[in-house]
Chains A and B, each alone.
Chain A
Amino acid sequence: MTMHDDDTRDSGPDERLVHGLLASLAADHAAQQDRRVRAAIARIDRREGVLARLGRFGVARFAAAGALAATLTIAVVLSIGPATNSAYATLQSISNRLATGNRSYRQTIVLANRDGTESLREAMVDVGTGRRFVFAIDLDALPLGPRVPGEAGGRQGKGTGQPGMRGEPGPPPMAGGRGRRGPEHADRPSPDAPDPAAPPGPMPRGPDGPGFGDRHGAPPIAWGFDGTEYWQIDLAGVVTRSLDPLRMRDPMPLMGGPPSDQDSENDDEELLTLQPLLDRLESGFDLTVVTGTQARTAEGEPLVVIEATLRPEVAAAARPKMPQDEPKEREGPSIRKGRRGMRAPPLPTRVRLVADARTNELVSVVADWPEGSRFLRRIVVERVAPRAFDDTWFSPDRHGPVASLPTRDG
Chain B
Amino acid sequence: MDPRDSQAFEILVREHADMLMAYLRAMAWNDALVEDAFQEAIIVAWRRLPDFDRSRPFAPWLRGIARNTLLGLARKQQRRHEIAGEAAVLHIEEQLARIESTPADRFADRLQPLMDCMQRLAPEQREAVELIYAQSLDPRVAAATAGTTDETFRKRLYRARLQLAECLRIKGFLNGAPA
A interface residues (Cβ-Cβ under 8 A, vs B)? 1-5, 7-9, 11-29, 33, 36-37, 39-41, 43-45, 47-48, 199-202, 204-205, 211-212, 403-410
Interface residues, chain B, with chain A CB atoms under 8 Å away: 6, 9-10, 13-14, 17-18, 21-27, 29, 35-36, 38-40, 42-44, 46-48, 64-65, 67-69, 72-73, 76-77, 82, 84, 87-89, 91-92, 95-96, 107-108, 111, 114, 129-130, 132-136, 139-140, 142-143, 150, 154, 157-158, 161-162, 164-165, 168-169, 174, 177-178
Q: Which of B21, B24, B68, B165 contacts A409 (CB 8 A)?
A: B68
Contact yes or no, A17 B165, CB < 8 A: yes
For the complex formed, measure the closest distance between the CB of B47 and the CB atoms of chain A, giving whole angstroms: 6
Name the CB-closest residue of B to A406: B72
**What are the residues of chain B within 8 A of A43 when measuring CB–CB?**
39, 43
Q: Is the CB of B67 within 8 A of A410?
A: yes
Cross-interface CB contact of B26 among A5, A19, A201, cutoff 8 Å: A19
A-B contact pairs, 22 of them (CB 8 A): A8-B161, A9-B29, A13-B84, A13-B178, A16-B27, A16-B88, A16-B92, A17-B92, A19-B25, A20-B24, A24-B111, A27-B134, A36-B39, A37-B13, A40-B38, A44-B6, A44-B9, A47-B43, A48-B6, A202-B77, A403-B43, A406-B44
The minimal Cβ–Cβ distance linking A216 to chain B, given in whole angstroms, is 18
Contact of B21 among A5, A12, A24, A201 (CB under 8 A): A24
Per the bound structure, the CA–CA distance linking A280 and B168 in Å amounts to 80
Question: A14–B13 contact, CB under 8 A?
Answer: no
A132 to B161, CA, bound (A): 52
- Pair B111/A1 contact, Cβ less than 8 Å: no
- Kindly report which residue of chain A lies nearest to residue B88, judged by CB atoms: A13
User: Distance (Å) between the CB of A32 and the closest chain B CB?
Assistant: 9
Q: Which residue of B lies closest to A36 (CB)?
A: B38
Q: Which residue of B lies closest to A236 (CB)?
A: B47
Residue of B nearest to A211 (CB): B47
Q: Which residues of B contact A16 (CB under 8 A)?
A: 25-27, 84, 88, 92
A27-B134, A44-B9 known, 13 other contacts, Cβ within 8 Å: A8-B161, A9-B29, A16-B25, A16-B26, A18-B114, A18-B161, A20-B21, A20-B22, A21-B111, A24-B22, A24-B108, A33-B17, A408-B72
Please determine whether B43 and A23 come into contact, CB atoms closer than 8 angstroms. Answer: no
Are A409 and B44 within 8 A (Cβ)? yes
The smallest C-beta distance from A82 to any residue of chain B, in angstroms, reads 42
